[in-house]
Structure 1
């Protein structure tokens, strides 16, 4: 394994020996994307074309208020099933050879296991927000500024650190006596694939336990969590070969033993690479379950306008914004408000989009602030909730659908302008993810932000980012820059149109002031919500737990 550390750039270096042109012609790499609700495995050729795809669902459980959990074994089961499907799609004639596997995954989600990798508790998912008291206690102990400076992330319920404090404290205190291992999704999959307990720095940093400048787990943050270094996985740079596939894993996946497993990055960082983002001047924008955007920075910097992550390009950082209520909010509309099954979502949303195209900008006076899962940057308020203004009797579901698209776009303008103020101009947005397939949403984003919105050539940019790192490690290209150039492409471009003027007024005159005006009331409402739940729990404990469910 070559560990390039935190210095320098990977764009001019190569970890793998170069393959001949003939070897490249028959080579494919697998990008494994173990996301929140499914594992997708895509076989990419050297031109960045998807040759074969496999997919397997992962159940998401909501066992109580603010609680989001998964069975970590499902990550491995879904990875196995999806990989076998993708490999089967390559055909039996042996004309295409898998040269390497790269990993990307949902971030902040973690599991605690015993020394053999057997989960001791359900995994806590990035949306889990039961740790608000632990955030407050960590701030009291170390201070908000120190937590931000070391980890790169202002304290809030999202980083795993605070969820871990909850789990090993109020949640399941008996676990601490067992000195469990703490694994991100990448580490668990690496262990199952190779027998080596290792993860990428760009996968571990969302845990909130890293010293971002040092490139290592922080002794100070580990002490806060009550952990020692041996409870965490080994760290690699993105693009490092972790090890070869073990015999058992190879048999399960339908691949030869010894195929290199390559350290990847969290889904946000991998998506930036898969969109072709290599330097300042552009931002990637992933329209997924969460809405995540970021710009590349060659130097470590912090600001409340963003959270600082390691980029999938070794030696660089990603200044990232995150709205946790992304397409999750559209799933809420379909399942919770309209009462339709998750399997009907595509058809329902397609119908709403057709109706919404005919509505005027501003959804006929309906404005939405999309804080369905709290707000991170720039306010960092876990108690914030969604806001809708302007309801009248003429509104129908299509108005709310359009208001969600517009509200997310208006929030993205808030994020983008704050990042620009801290780090420099952003000339265009490179968009990907499931939401990027909507022409209406892409046009609204261009009109609201006033910037060209360029659709990435691959909508599954996270899996492509993992594939690019695997291709580089396997020697398909002489350096990472060449891999990015060869395997990424651009699709349609949406430029700001005549509706930009009305959206500009909607943003400046209404949207930008709504949350600041209501923040105090939202905080009081959140406190009353907690008090009401406690009162109900005392009166009837069984009635206070939500039923497990699997959203789309």
Structure 2
């Protein structure tokens, strides 16, 4: 029996999955690690925690399932994007990693925009947002110059872990695209952007494809992890790129909707000259010479979690959603906007805040719960519309994550998007994408597409109900008007938020 391992380095935990040649997930294991928020807006982690817990998770995966170490041919990674890890000449992390959800860098974002102006979108293809890596480097440059002076390289989270496992430095294109330092179309570090901020080119690691081999396990690491030293290690990719691979989004016309804490609409793209004016993200894919377009709802599943924890803390999610199928589309005239932590697509606005509009005495908890799901889905529809406006035909969407766990919500996505929604038989998201990169890298398949055909199977599809889709079309127009109507109110309320 032969296996590959997918390692998904998330924000709260690392997950490892063991996958056989048929694509079956034979075993999985997770290990959590802490998040540090030393000041408001700060979000940091110890890179050593990632390394330690990854090795523990690999060992537990092997030992608990009594896997012969010689049967594991390779492993690869999916990683949380954007996080800044600075290492010295000896590969030691110089400070805690500054994570994707750290928001301290607003002044640095404005500096990037003022310095580069139209060059930014022309080269990096994305706006300067607090989550990206370059603003974090500039923050260190301004506030901790002695740290940057000691830095030999910057790495992203999974790249640091892979370095510690193999001793080799590398960064794949899909993750590099989220740094604001990559010439996305040219697939090279941008000398123009580096020079604009007095950053040496030597700070940037070598660039590789997601399926390229980056060495084998160091002997000491292999022993700790319960694997052979000759186990092949592949570069891996950004979590969203790996999520796309794990959902089979590997050809033109394929689109997925992933609803986790945030919500993502992602579509495969080969046209590198497309210009979305920064309305959506445009990143390199894990597939060679391909790209993906991505719209983001910041508080997708988080809106539902917030609602449950705030208004129904003593019931489970299943109980909370148990009656929503009995509530008609539109939730009895109740409309929710999921802007509870600001918004990303199509409104990159950190000040906007959410709202319930249309509340009356006849509304129950179930009306509100359905309204939250509808608002999240309307927000994701805005990203779908941007893709359609670019000329993409979107008549089928793969749904993964929390939004694929409730049948009523899956049907709602079909009706709101006016597209067929497909649920996968076994959905492991980015971890499966990482495993597929390892399988392809090991030569199990001649292409990632053929790997996807072997590994991924649909379990059920949901077609739009024409009558309900028409109702949602009318409601969606109302939803889109709420942002403009509440933007100024949100600004005026911001001093009172504390």
| Corresponding position of 1:141 | 115
Cα displacement string for residues 60-110 of structure 1 (whole angstroms, at most 9, x for unaligned residues): 333333322222222212212222222224425x39711100110111222
| Corresponding position of 1:65 | 40
Match of 2:453 among 478, 482, 485: 485
| Corresponding position of 2:164 | 192
Match of 2:136 among 163, 174, 185: 163
SS in 2 for 1:51: strand
| Corresponding position of 1:504 | 473
Q: Which stretches in structure 2 are left out of the alignment for 5+ residues?
A: none
Distance of 1:396 and 1:313 partners within structure 2: 47
Residue 458 to residue 137, structure 1, CA distance change in 2 (3 Å): same
Distance of 1:459 and 1:431 partners within structure 2: 10
**1:54–1:84: 8 Å Cα contact kept in structure 2?**
no
Match of 2:86 among 112, 124, 130: 112
Distance of 1:233 and 1:420 partners within structure 2: 36
By how many angstroms is 1:225 displaced? 4.4
**1:275–1:458: 8 Å Cα contact kept in structure 2?**
no
| Corresponding position of 1:220 | 192
Residue 112 to residue 386, structure 1, CA distance change in 2 (3 Å): farther
Distance of 2:69 and 2:198 partners within structure 1: 52
SS in 1 for 2:129: coil
Residue 152 to residue 495, structure 1, CA distance change in 2 (3 Å): same
By how many angstroms is 1:376 displaced? 2.1
| Corresponding position of 2:30 | 55
By how many angstroms is 1:434 displaced? 3.2
SS in 2 for 1:62: coil
Cα displacement string for residues 223-271 of structure 1 (whole angstroms, at most 9, x for unaligned residues): 3444222222221111100001111211121101021111111111111
**1:284–1:294: 8 Å Cα contact kept in structure 2?**
yes
What TM-score do the two structures reach when normalised by structure 2?
Answer: 0.93
Matched, 1:435 2:403: yes
Distance of 1:444 and 1:395 partners within structure 2: 20
**2:62–2:69: 8 Å Cα contact kept in structure 1?**
no
Alignment of 1:254-293 (within 5 A): 254-293=226-265
| Corresponding position of 1:236 | 208
By how many angstroms is 1:348 displaced? 2.1
SS in 1 for 2:459: strand
What TM-score do the two structures reach when normalised by structure 1?
Answer: 0.84
Cα displacement string for residues 30-84 of structure 1 (whole angstroms, at most 9, x for unaligned residues): 0111112221111111211101111111323333333222222222122122222
SS in 2 for 1:99: strand
Cα displacement string for residues 404-438 of structure 1 (whole angstroms, at most 9, x for unaligned residues): 21111101111101111114211211111233212
SS in 2 for 1:261: strand
SS in 2 for 1:168: helix
Distance of 2:46 and 2:303 partners within structure 1: 23
| Corresponding position of 1:333 | 307
Match of 1:444 among 412, 419, 430: 412
Cα displacement string for residues 507-526 of structure 1 (whole angstroms, at most 9, x for unaligned residues): 01x10111123223334444
Residue 383 to residue 168, structure 1, CA distance change in 2 (3 Å): farther
| Corresponding position of 1:100 | 74
| Corresponding position of 1:122 | 96
Query: RCO higher in 1 or 2 (8 Å CA, sep ≥ 6)?
Result: 1
Cα displacement string for residues 155-214 of structure 1 (whole angstroms, at most 9, x for unaligned residues): 2223222233234324x4442332353210121011111001112111221112111122
SS in 2 for 1:67: coil
SS in 1 for 2:90: coil
Matched, 1:83 2:55: no
Cα displacement string for residues 292-316 of structure 1 (whole angstroms, at most 9, x for unaligned residues): 1211111212303421111111111
By how many angstroms is 1:503 displaced? 1.5
Query: Higher mean Cα deviation, 283-292 or 393-402?
Result: 393-402
Distance of 2:46 and 2:375 partners within structure 1: 33
**2:128–2:180: 8 Å Cα contact kept in structure 1?**
no
Distance of 1:293 and 1:493 partners within structure 2: 18
| Corresponding position of 1:368 | 336
SS in 2 for 1:280: coil
Distance of 1:419 and 1:243 partners within structure 2: 38
Matched, 1:302 2:275: yes
| Corresponding position of 1:311 | 285
Distance of 1:187 and 1:321 partners within structure 2: 25
**1:47–1:487: 8 Å Cα contact kept in structure 2?**
yes
| Corresponding position of 2:106 | 132
